[in-house]
Amino acid sequence: MLGHSMKQIAVSLNVSKGSVSNWVRDIVLPKEVLVNINNQCLMGREKARKTRLNNIALRQDELFRVCREEIIPFSLRDLWVAGLMLYAGEGNKSSIVGNQHIEIANSDADILRIFIKFIVKVCHVPKERIRVRLILYEDIDIEQAYNYWSKELNISRNQFGKEFIKPSYKDSPYRHLRRSTYGTAHVCLYDAKIYRRIMGWLKASYECLALDNIG
């Protein structure tokens, strides 16, 4: 016995699997043959899984290419709107005069890079004026976190403030809530005038994009 599966036999003889099943229904296979067949089935399923994932990746790459052509190039106005919408969702918005500063927090470096570019290109603020504060869990390596955020945001280490350390979730039933390897970075600019301009732009955007104004 070679340990071929019914599918392999059917393909070799150019018959249906049903026919093969009828031929072999009374045959008792040795354990080693069953193991071989099972292994081949597992290998076949794994090959099919890899093929499926590869096809998905190829389709995703093609979709990304099309999407990139649809949206690129970005204009300065596009960056302006993108920065405002990021701040609308993630930024500090305070009516207390003493707390009117620009601050946006995220664990996604891409989000913060876009906002930093908005501050520099749209608000015309030198990058050296930006400050960053990290919110870390106690089991995160502090030095690794600083190196990561400094590199990802292209911000000098001397522009970072004192980090805030939170209790770790690693031994708690809520550990699944933590998805950040390097904590959360808060990008800050202490400039009340620019803060008020951003809030003014947001107010105008809300009014312009109100649902009853959309045709």
As beta bridge partners, residue 188 has 103, 131
Determine the Cα–Cα distance for residues 51 and 56; give it in Å rounded to an integer.
9
Rounded to 5°, angle at Cα 128 from 124 and 133: 110
One digit per residue, the tens of pLDDT, for the chain of length 215 reads 455 666 776 777 677 777 766 666 666 666 666 556 666 666 677 678 788 888 999 999 999 999 999 988 889 999 999 999 999 999 999 878 788 899 999 999 999 999 999 999 999 999 999 999 999 988 889 999 999 999 999 999 999 999 999 887 666 655 555 567 899 999 999 999 999 999 999 999 988 877 555 55
Determine the Cα–Cα distance for residues 48 and 42; give it in Å rounded to an integer.
10
Determine the Cα–Cα distance for residues 186 and 103; give it in Å rounded to an integer.
6
Report domain extents, the chain: 6-68, 76-213
pTM: 0.71
Determine the Cα–Cα distance for residues 179 and 177; give it in Å rounded to an integer.
6
Contact predicate 131/159, CB 8 Å: yes
